[in-house]
């Protein structure tokens, strides 16, 4: 090798090690940045024997990215459902709770049984009335809690939509930068980290698929195939609370709807599912309990004429057909039996439409009420809790089913979160920075730099010697 070639090789080596050291130092500085992808220089040998860095690459694995984001989306879906139902199911109670609608129904049924054994006892009459009122108040509170949960689901969905639209707009702007051809290498790498962070954030709210076009720009679609971002154009996500339709650029992407090319996971999918399906079904089941309670006591009350309300009423009125939604929020005890409302508590013994007090020892009507509560009645099978059961059995099934819905979502969220953490550990192992490895590289860089510097010193000394010989 000539002296000039050796000098050029050493000079290029020092230039490469300088840039390599800068890259390694940058890696160490971002070791705690989860969205930062480790940079690695690609060193190539030139035709003259020198070395250069052809490019700085990012440690990115698209398969691991997709797996992680999908698990994050699944976690967010179930977490949204579990969180959205937590306050309601807490109020509803479960098999371990001391006071639930089921225990209140049982207390009322027992109170009627005690009255039947001693129909003249005014204290027992008052206790039974109190139990009936507490039962209706619990149904009212549970219904209102579901209304609040649905309103919160809508508000959370709107917040997610606003955030998604902002993310898509930002990604469209990043696409424009990628296609501009004006970015330096370092700017492209920094933009890549921003894109990773933005896509990870988007995955929490909705699931999606992504690919790149010929210009390196992102193309983002729902998992069903509806375009969300093409080039520099991002579609706008919107939700119609009246119809329950979630759309992207006018295309229906509502989760759970057959035939739509929509989303299936993410906090937005969870909130929309709560709003459209889960909470309305729970409300309908609660209304069915209220309807059966009103119906059973109307049919068992021999004092009633057609159209007159029984012990339990629809906001003071008799049951109608069909029953308007929200009955559980309107059910109340007939004022005819409430002394504070001008009624008389003895009508629990004699019937709601009794105009005069009957025999104090006549338990005929009370026995009819007790028997009606212990007899199976019909329910709407479409609500998923069976078509025939006693009031207490149906209510027990409702409490168990609705608690299971929340518990299942909570368990699924924990399972998906664990899966996401496992994938993320592998992902970070691939793209993340190991400080020990980077420090070892700095030692190697220092040695390479010293060796090249020594070569330059030796070559310069040899040149000086040659010049002095003339």
DSSP letter for 345, please: T
Tokens of 205: 């709210």
Residue 201 burial by Cβ neighbours in a 10 Å radius (0-12, 13-18, 19+): middle
Residue with structure tokens 């339990």? 312
Q: What's the pLDDT at 157?
A: 98
Distance separating alpha carbons of residues 238 and 243, to the nearest angstrom: 12
Residue with structure tokens 């109170």? 111
Cα-based distances in Å from 25 to 45, 53, 189: 23, 16, 15
Which tens digit of pLDDT belongs to each residue from 331-374?
A: 999 999 999 999 999 999 999 999 999 999 999 999 999 999 99
Range list of H helices, 37-100: 62-92
Q: What percentage of the chain exceeds 70 in pLDDT?
A: 89
Which tens digit of pLDDT belongs to each residue from 1-25?
A: 566 666 666 676 677 677 777 767 7
Query: 320: pLDDT confidence band, cut at 50, 70 and 90?
Result: very high
Which tens digit of pLDDT belongs to each residue from 156-191?
A: 999 999 999 999 999 999 999 988 888 888 888 888
Query: 465: pLDDT confidence band, cut at 50, 70 and 90?
Result: confident
**In the predicted structure, residue 448 carries a pLDDT above the cut 70:** no
Question: Residue 124: which of 149, 107, 141 has the closest Cα?
Answer: 107
Q: What's the pLDDT at 145?
A: 96
Distance separating alpha carbons of residues 151 and 159, to the nearest angstrom: 12
Query: 415: pLDDT confidence band, cut at 50, 70 and 90?
Result: very high
| Across 53-66, average pLDDT | 75
Strand segments, DSSP code E, in 213-330 are: 218-221, 227-230, 233-234, 237-240, 245-248, 251-252, 312-314
Residue 367 burial by Cβ neighbours in a 10 Å radius (0-12, 13-18, 19+): middle
Of the listed ranges 101-115, 119-133, 342-356, 436-450, the least confidently predicted one is 436-450
Which tens digit of pLDDT belongs to each residue from 248-259?
A: 999 999 999 988
How much is the pTM? 0.86
Q: What's the pLDDT at 96?
A: 72
Q: What's the pLDDT at 424?
A: 86
Tokens of 184: 């330096």
Q: What's the pLDDT at 69?
A: 94
Report whether 151 contacts 88 (CB < 8 A). Answer: no
Of the listed ranges 64-78, 86-100, 127-141, the least confidently predicted one is 86-100
């Amino acid at each position: 090798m000539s002296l000039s070639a050796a000098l050029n090789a050493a000079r290029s080596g020092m230039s490469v090690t300088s840039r390599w050291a800068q890259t390694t130092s940058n890696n160490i500085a971002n070791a705690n940045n989860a969205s930062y992808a480790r940079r690695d220089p690609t060193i190539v040998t030139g035709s003259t024997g020198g070395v250069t860095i052809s490019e700085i690459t990012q440690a990115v694995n698209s398969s691991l990215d997709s797996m992680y984001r999908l698990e994050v989306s699944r976690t967010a879906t179930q977490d949204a459902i579990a969180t959205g139902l937590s306050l309601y199911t807490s109020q509803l109670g479960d098999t371990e709770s001391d006071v639930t609608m089921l225990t209140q129904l049982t207390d009322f049924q027992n109170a009627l049984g005690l009255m039947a054994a001693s129909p003249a006892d005014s204290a027992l009459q008052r206790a039974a009335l109190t139990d009936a009122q507490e039962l209706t108040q619990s149904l009212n509170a549970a219904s209102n809690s579901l209304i609040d949960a649905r309103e919160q689901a809508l508000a959370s969905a709107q917040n997610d939509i606003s955030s998604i639209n902002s993310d898509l707009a930002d990604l469209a702007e990043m696409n424009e930068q990628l296609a501009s051809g004006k970015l330096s290498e370092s700017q492209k790498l920094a933009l890549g980290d921003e894109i990773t962070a933005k896509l990870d954030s988007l995955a929490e709210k909705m699931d999606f698929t992504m690919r790149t076009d010929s210009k390196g720009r992102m193309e983002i679609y729902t998992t069903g195939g509806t375009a969300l971002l093409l080039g520099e154009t991002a579609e706008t996500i919107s939700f119609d609370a009246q119809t329950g339709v979630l759309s992207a650029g006018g295309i229906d992407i509502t989760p759970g709807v057959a035939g739509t090319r929509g989303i299936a996971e993410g906090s937005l999918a969870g909130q929309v599912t709560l709003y459209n399906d889960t909470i309305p079904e729970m409300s309908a089941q609660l209304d069915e309990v209220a309807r059966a309670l009103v119906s059973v006591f109307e049919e068992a009350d021999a004092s009633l004429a057609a159209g007159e309300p029984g012990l339990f009423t629809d906001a003071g009125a008799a049951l109608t057909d069909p029953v308007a939604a929200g009955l559980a929020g309107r059910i109340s005890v007939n004022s005819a039996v409430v002394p504070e409302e001008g009624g008389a508590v003895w009508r629990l013994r004699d019937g709601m439409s009794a105009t005069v007090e009957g025999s104090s020892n006549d338990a005929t009507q009370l026995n009819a009420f007790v028997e009606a509560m212990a007899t199976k009645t019909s329910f709407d099978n479409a609500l998923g809790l069976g078509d025939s059961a006693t009031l207490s059995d149906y209510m027990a099934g409702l409490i168990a089913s609705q608690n299971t819905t929340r518990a299942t979502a909570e368990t699924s969220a924990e399972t998906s979160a664990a899966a996401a953490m496992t994938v993320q550990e592998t992902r970070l192992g691939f793209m993340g920075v190991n400080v020990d490895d980077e420090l070892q590289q700095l030692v190697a860089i220092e040695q390479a730099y010293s060796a090249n510097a020594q070569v330059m010193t030796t070559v310069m000394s040899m040149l000086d010697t040659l010049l002095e010989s003339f």
